[in-house]
Chains A and B, each alone.
Chain A
Amino acid sequence: NAGVMQNPRHLVRRRGQEARLRCSPVKGHSHVYWYRQLPEEGLKFMVYLQKENIIDESGMPKERFSAEFPKEGPSILRIQQVVRGDSAAYFCASSPAVNNQPQHFGDGTRLSIL
């Protein structure tokens, strides 16, 4: 069984460009989460999605950031007009719709803004 797959592993963008991060959850998992990690820090929650629905986006900046989990295909985290402060590792996790189950994490996308 494949785990959570994230791509690309590394992404370099210039200020003002768009960054698009993709995440394929574990097969059968209906919950997807995005977290951001700055160097030497823990993960910070951004958004929680189920298929075609955003359930909790309270950790995501209101501007420039958006996320989706379409009926078909991977979940996408989109950052428009990137700035230097967006440089971080972005992790996706998935879990089944069963209580008291751990989240499974991908290896992340490391975003660097020039």
Chain B
Amino acid sequence: SQQGEEDPQALSIQEGENATMNCSYKTSINNLQWYRQNSGRGLVHLILIRSNEREKHSGRLRVTLDTSKKSSSLLITASRAADTASYFCAIHAGETSGSRLTFGEGTQLTVNP
């Protein structure tokens, strides 16, 4: 299975702390993407990291990719209550622009005020 697998399944932290979520996968990839989903809503794209990239930043978000270990991590620094959501990694394994995303089961992050 190509499926990304997130770890941990659930994470509860205090506001201001950092949150780290990990994702492992099994196949070669074109890129890996992280999404956030608030309850009852659609997915919001956070960061896309290409297979030839090792690290990307966007505001309080930092994503790393280790293709030799087939793993990625998402770090949220200085967390806020509004960061409470489910976070999913998704792998894009296709060679062309149009190709499915394969999602993991997600990490449920709770940030306590």
Contacts and interface: CB of A to CB of B under 8 A. Distances in A.
Nearest to A4: B42
B97 A97 contact: yes
Contact of A48 (B41, B98, B103): B98
A42 B105 contact: yes
B22 to A, nearest CB: 15
Interface residues of B, number: 24
A97 B90 CA distance: 19
Contacts of B100: 33, 45, 48, 56, 59
Interface stretch (A14-22, A71-79, A105-113): A105-113
A91 B43 CA distance: 9
Q: Which of A41, A43, A44 has the most CB of B within 10 A?
A: A43
Given A99-B97, A105-B42, A42 B103 contact: yes
A100 interface: yes
Contacts of A42: 88, 103-106
A43 B88 contact: yes
Nearest to B38: A107
Contact of B101 (A45, A99, A100, A107): A45
B44 interface: yes
